Amino acid sequence: MSEYFDQYLTVLAFGAFGAVLVAGLLGLASLIRPSNPTPAKLETYESGIDPIGGGYSQTHIRYYVFALLFLIFDVEAVFIFPWALKLESLGAFALWEMFIFIGILLMGLLYTIRKGVLKWE
Amino acid sequence: MIPLVAVEINFYLLLVLKILAITGVMLGGSLPIIFGELKISAHMQSRVGPYYAGGRWGWAQPMADGLKFFQKEDLVPAAADRQVYKLAPYLLMVSTLAVFVIIPFSPDLIAADLDLGIFFALAISSLSTLGVLMAGWSSGNKYSLIGGLRAAAQIIAYELPLVLAVIGVVIQAGTLSMVGIVEAQIDMGVPFLIGGQAVAFVIFFIASLAELNRTPFDLPIAESELVMGYLTEYSGFRFTTFFLAEYAGVVAISAIASTLFLGGYGFWGLDSALFGPFVLAAKVGILAFLMIWIRWTWPRMREDQLQTLAWKWLIPISLANIMVTAIFKVVF
Instruction: Give the per-residue SS3 of chain B.
Output: CHHHHHHHHHHHHHHHHHHHHHHHHHHHHHHHHHHHHHHHHHHHCCCCCCCCCCCHHHCCHHHHHHHHHHCCCCCCCCCCCHHHHHHHHHHHHHHHHHHHHHCCCCCCCCCCCCCCHHHHHHHHHCHHHHHHHHHHHHCCCHHHHHHHHHHHHHHHHHHHHHHHHHHHHHHHHCCCCHHHHHHHHHHHCCCCCCCCCHHHHHHHHHHHHHHCCCCCCCCCCCHHHHCCHHHCCCCHHHHHHHHHHHHHHHHHHHHHHHHHHCCCCCECCECHHHHHHHHHHHHHHHHHHHHHHHHCCCCCCCHHHHHHHHHHHHHHHHHHHHHHHHHHHHHC
Q: Assess whether pLDDT exceeds 60 at residue B6.
A: no
Closest Cα in chain B to A35: B73
What residues does each domain of chain A span? 1-35, 58-121
Percent of the residues in chain A that have a pLDDT greater than 90, as a whole number? 0
Contact of B61 with B53, CB cutoff 8 Å: yes
Give the residue on B whose Cα is nearest the Cα of A112: B311
- For B317, counting Cβ atoms within 10 Å of its Cβ (0-12 exposed, 13-18 middle, 19+ buried), the class is middle
Predicted local distance difference test score (pLDDT) of residue A45: 77
CA dist B87 and B95 (Å) reads 13
Residue B150 has pLDDT above 80, yes or no: yes
Extract long-range pairs of B12-20: CB within 8 Å, 24+ residues apart.
B15/A9, B15/A10, B15/A13, B18/A10, B18/B111, B19/A13, B19/A14, B19/A17
pLDDT in tens, B295-328: 888 888 888 888 888 888 898 899 889 888 888 8
Residue B8 has pLDDT above 60, yes or no: no
Whether B98 sits inside 8 A of A11 (CB atoms) is: yes
Share of chain B above pLDDT 70, in %: 97
Query: Is the predicted pLDDT of residue A121 greater than 70, yes or no?
Result: no
Q: Is the pLDDT at A50 greater than 80, yes or no?
A: no
Q: Give the pLDDT confidence score for residue A84 in this predicted structure.
A: 84
Mean pLDDT across A30-43: 81
Closest CA to B136 of B270, B264, B232, B57: B232
Residues of chain B with Cβ-Cβ distance to A14 below 8 Å are 19, 22, 97-98, 100-101, 111
Residue B2 scores a pLDDT above 50: no
Chain B within 8 Å of A87 (Cβ-Cβ)? yes
Span A56-95, pLDDT tens digits: 777 777 667 778 888 888 888 888 888 888 887 887 888 8
pLDDT value of residue B4:
46
Round the average pLDDT of chain B to a whole number and report it.
84
Distance from CA of B15 to the nearest CA of A (A): 7
Quick check: A118 and B304 CB within 8 A? yes
Is the pLDDT reported for residue A120 higher than 80?
no
- Residue in B142, B232, B307 closest to A57 by CB: B142
In this predicted structure, the answer to whether residue B182 has a pLDDT above a threshold of 80 is yes
Query: Which among B231, B221, B235, B226 is positioned nearest to B76, based on CA atoms?
Result: B235
**How buried is B100 (Cβ within 10 angstroms: 0-12 exposed, 13-18 middle, 19+ buried)?**
buried
Assess whether pLDDT exceeds 80 at residue B292. yes
**pLDDT of amino acid B286:** 92
Residues in A closer than 8 angstroms to B160, CB to CB, are 70, 73-74, 77
Q: How large is the ipTM? A: 0.84
pTM of the model: 0.87
Helix (H, G, I), strand (E, B) or coil at A60: coil
* Cβ-defined contact of A43 to B78 (cutoff 8 Å): yes
